[in-house]
Amino acid sequence: MRPLQMVDTKTQYQKIKQEVDAAVIGVLESSQFIGGKVVNDFADNLAKYNEVKHVIPCANGTDALQISMMALELQPGDEVITPSFTYIATVEAAALLKLKPVFVEVDKETFCIDPAALEKAITPKTKAIIPVHLYGHAANMEAIMAIAQKHNLYVIEDNAQAIGCDYTFANGSKKKTGSIGHIGCTSFYPSKNLGAYGDAGAIFTNDDALANRLKMIAIHGQAKRYYHDMVGCNSRLDAIQAAILDIKLKHLDEYIDARRKAAAFYDKAFSGNSAITIPYRAAYSNHVFHQYTLLVNTVNRDELHQYLADNGIPSMIYYPVPCHKQKMFETFGGSDYHLPVTDWLTEKVISLPIHTELDEEQQTFIVSKVLEFINK
């Protein structure tokens, strides 16, 4: 059996090596390392894929979130509502910009922001909501957009884990996640579903004026070289990463299919077992399985984690500490929060290896060890 990994970017690379190597050499020979045709072509292709008007490439997903909040001209003290059960990057930029992160509860089935909890957290100072499509499953965007409209709030989707996910509205129409809110942010961190070979990210919007601001902020607030109209930052996607991403974008749907196939294999093995709960799929979202995350009901999660490790099977806890309990947010009243679903999830979730290169032999082994532990 091939060794087990949470993600196998190496085997994936081997399959597209010729094309990738040629593209990288092409950039090296062109000497156009920052910006230029390769970056623009990738942005155009990604905009087509994600069915969105503008794609602004940037250096990473964390920057994408920061640039978004800057473009919305949020002011110090403005409140930004996010789920506490997410990766720290969703919220960190808000604090950096002296905004006030407000943490709300997640839905216990989708693990994404709970619209009812979100609405309750709105105050006159609330300016924006950042829903996260956690693990590759969409948040309830229809409800979130309705609340946002009612209260005149911006929505920035954190789509870092869900690129390629389709959202279906009640009337049957569909949109890609990341193109539903005012702004969508994504990350091309190597282990993400569309992963670069280094850091990279992008911002999506259908709003022309916002697109203009986002673009300017990512390059020192300039529209014209050496004329700086607003305070920005330096967050560029380099051409080597864009060349690689453009090739991988063509494979993205096939990569998602491979993840879904692996998820279906796990589902079949685990469904109906009362000791664990398989990932939920809401009717409005298909799932792109950035993670395959089980809920452990009757057995000890950490013991399962250890048991798998002892058998050479990696598994991960995303995330052991929710944002509201992170030391960096102590000053935002962390201990005053009462988020029982979030706290419960931090003790009950476990993510199994899922990626495009898993084979049946590997999955059979993983499944057998999970079941062996549960049935012990």
Ligand X SMILES: *Cc1c(COP(=O)(O)O)cnc(C)c1O
How far is 172 from 242, CA to CA, in rounded Å? 34
Q: How many chain residues interact with ligand X (CB under 6 A)?
A: 15
Q: What torsion do the CA atoms of 109, 112, 116, 117 make, to the nearest 10 degrees?
A: 110
Least distance from ligand X to the Cβ atom of residue 23, Å: 21
Tokens of 366: 């993983």
Residue 157 binds to ligand X (criterion: CB under 6 A): no
144 vs 276, which CB is nearer to ligand X? 144
Among 7, 132, 183, 202, binds ligand X (CB under 6 A): 132
Binding of residue 351 to ligand X (CB under 6 A): no
Return the residues of window 96-125 that contact ligand X according to CB under 6 A.
none
Are the CB atoms for 97 and 74 separated by under 8 Å? yes
Name, in order, each residue with C-beta under 8 angstroms of 317's C-beta and a sequence gap of 6 or more.
301, 305, 346, 349, 350, 351
Closest contact distance (angstroms) between CB of 42 and ligand X is: 16
- Closest CB to ligand X: residue number: 61
Alpha-carbon distance of 58 to 83, in angstroms, equals 24
Q: Contact region for ligand X (CB under 6 A) — 70-78, 156-164, 278-286, 327-335? A: 156-164
For residue 358, give the 3-state DSSP assignment: coil
CB 191 to ligand X: min, Å: 8
For 13, 117, 376, the CA distances from 256, given in Å and listed in that order, are 16, 31, 34
Task: Give the position of tokens 């808000």.
Answer: 94
Least distance (Å) between residue 367 CB and ligand X = 26
Which of 46-54, 81-89, 94-102, 233-241 is the region at the interface with ligand X (rule: CB under 6 A)?
81-89
Mask: binding to ligand X, 45-64, rule CB under 6 A, as x and -?
---------------xxx--
Q: H or E segment at 129?
A: strand 126-129
Give contact residues for ligand X (rule: CB under 6 A).
Answer: 60-62, 86-87, 89-90, 132, 158, 160-161, 187, 189, 199, 201
